[in-house]
């Protein structure tokens, strides 16, 4: 059974950069071609950040394009997210997920990130 | 961009009752691209249904999905205590590419 675990700083400064990693265990990251990041602001709904195709490249939510980078390190079996120019609106729980058939099949437990001013 | 609107916002039912949750899209969505998730407090969403009607691995058969075009439904035939949660529908779009979610329906115990 695949397991995903997000990690990163719980508190980041406004205007700074958020680095998050997602460690994949129980299966190879190469087992599926697409992996995604999703976030959820406190008390709010779900927002897809972007995905990466291991055979191609990343696709980003247009609302975040220019600030977000998703990458994968196959040797470490992990996924990464970088989000720049942070504001309070970026405070959220960040999830990594393994894509299924046009859906998000497996999710990590999430990492809470607070942007401080 | 396709917008998904879920109704009702909150649904109050008792265990053993039938729950019907609606997801309406602002434009036609291929059934292949429609999914449903369950989220409990403090937990990540869990995939229930993909392709509008296919149950994900390990999902009980009391959960079923249906619909086409702009109207989709998640039905829980007989509510169990563990089913009270927030439910989201999701569509995969090609222009622009990516996933969008409905705002959620909270299913609460009456």
* CA proximity to A86, closest of A108, A62, A68, A60: A68
- Tell me the chain B residues in contact with residue A38 when contact means C-beta distances shorter than 8 Å: 99
Tell me the pLDDT band of B1, cut-offs 50, 70 and 90.
Answer: confident
What would the two tokens of residue B95 be?
A: 């222009």
Q: Is the pLDDT of residue B77 over 90?
A: yes
* CA proximity to B36, closest of B24, B19, B53: B53
What would the two tokens of residue A88 be?
A: 């309070």
> Which among B33, B43, B104 has CB closest to A102?
B33
Rounded-to-integer distance, Cα A117 and Cα A70, Å:
25
Interface test with A, best of B3, B30, B87, B99 (most A CBs within 10 A): B99
Q: What pLDDT is recorded for position A56?
A: 83
Q: How far does CA B66 lie from the centroid of its chain?
A: 10
Element (H, E) at A73: strand A68-73
Rounded-to-integer distance, Cα A64 and Cα B91, Å:
19
Q: Is the peptide bond before A110 cis (omega within 30 degrees of 0)?
A: no
- B19-51 pLDDT, tens digit per residue, is 999 999 999 999 999 999 999 999 999 999 999
Q: What pLDDT is recorded for position B57?
A: 96
* Residue B91 distance to chain A (closest CA, Å): 8
- A43-77 pLDDT, tens digit per residue, is 778 999 999 999 888 999 999 979 999 999 999 99
Q: Residues B54-82: what's their mean pLDDT? A: 97
């Amino acid at each position: 059974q695949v397991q995903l675990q997000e990690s990163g700083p719980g508190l980041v400064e406004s205007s700074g950069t958020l680095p998050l990693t997602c460690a994949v265990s129980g299966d190879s990251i190469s087992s599926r071609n697409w992996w995604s990041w999703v976030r959820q602001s406190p008390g709010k709904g779900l927002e897809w950040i972007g995905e990466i195709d291991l055979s191609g490249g990343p696709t980003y939510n247009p609302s975040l394009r220019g600030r977000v980078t998703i990458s994968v390190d196959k040797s470490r079996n992990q996924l990464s997210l970088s989000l720049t120019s942070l504001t309070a609106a970026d405070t959220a729980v960040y999830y990594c997920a393994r894509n299924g058939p046009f859906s998000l099949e497996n999710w990590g437990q999430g990492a809470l990130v607070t942007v401080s001013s | 961009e396709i917008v998904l609107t879920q109704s009702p916002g909150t649904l109050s039912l008792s265990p053993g009752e039938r729950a019907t949750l609606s997801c309406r899209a602002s434009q036609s969505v291929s059934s292949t691209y429609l999914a449903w998730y369950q989220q409990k407090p403090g937990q990540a969403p869990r995939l229930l249904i993909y392709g509008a009607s296919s149950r994900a691995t390990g999902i009980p058969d009391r959960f079923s999905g249906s619909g086409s075009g702009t109207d989709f439904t998640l039905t829980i035939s007989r509510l169990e205590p563990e089913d009270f949660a927030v439910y989201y529908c999701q569509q995969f779009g090609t222009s622009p590419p990516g996933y969008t979610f409905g705002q959620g329906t909270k299913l609460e115990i009456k």
